[in-house]
Structure 1
Amino acid sequence: MTAEAAVLLPVLLIVLGAALWAVAIVGVQLQCVDAARAGARAAARGEVIDEVRRTVLRAVPAGARVEVIPGTETTRVEVVAVVEPFPGAVLPPVRVTAAAVSATEPGVVP
């Protein structure tokens, strides 16, 4: 019984670590999607690009890159974040991206 537990415990810890890593990645992905949508809505309403960028940056993890592409028909907001593994892990960092496009309101000049 002890030998089986000695083998099973490290395997369970590895599986738990991988599951927590996956949950962290999904959480950051959801943050990026929500932030991109909020930014696209704000930009489509005619907010100043710097204000749109600040709105998006308030909702994403530190170090995320935000790009706002205004247009006459649509406005696109792209968010890129890198999720670093927890300290001591041998997992690679994961790049998460999200984009949202919104129709530009009539009368708004990009």
Structure 2
Amino acid sequence: MAAGLPALMLLLLTGLTAVNAVSTKAACLDTAREAALAASRGEPGVTAGSRSAPSGAEVTIVVEGGRVRATVRAPVRVLGGRLPAVSVVGVAVAVAEPGLPEPQP
């Protein structure tokens, strides 16, 4: 029983970290989608993405021809704060809207 409690705590912390990583990944994907769509319409994509990005996230927009790729990278703390953070990434691609201004990063 005494050896089982630390193992149970470790399993609990690992599970909570996994749930946090999955929810941060979902937030990154949503933010990347918003940023790519905004940039494809000619609006500043980084500004649009930064509004809903998870804390500590980095939003990057790349315009390649008629496509806009938005990448959102955010750190997730592992098992409290003693270990280094894991980085999760969300990527979305959108086609530039015809008849609108050039896509903006």
Common topology (TM > 0.5):
yes
Ranges in structure 1 where 5+ consecutive residues have no aligned partner: none
Return the letter of the residue paired with 2:7.
V
Could you tell me whether the CA contact under 8 Å between 2:14 and 2:79 is conserved in 1?
A: no
Do structure 1's residue 35 and structure 2's residue 31 form an aligned pair?
Answer: yes
Structure-to-structure mapping, 1:1-110, within 5 angstroms: 5-47=1-43, 49=44, 52-85=45-78, 87=80, 89-108=81-100, 109-110=102-103
Number of matched pairs: 102
- Over aligned residues, Cα RMSD in angstroms? 1.7
2-structure distance, mates of 1:84, 1:55? 25
**Residue identity matched to 1:62:** S
More helix by share: 1
Q: How far did residue 103 of structure 1 move? A: 0.7
CA contact (8 A) 1:71 1:104 kept: no
Q: Which moved more, 1:53-62 or 1:37-46?
A: 53-62
Identical pairs, percent: 37
Name which one, 1 or 2, has greater alpha-carbon Rg.
1
Gaps of 5+ in 2: none
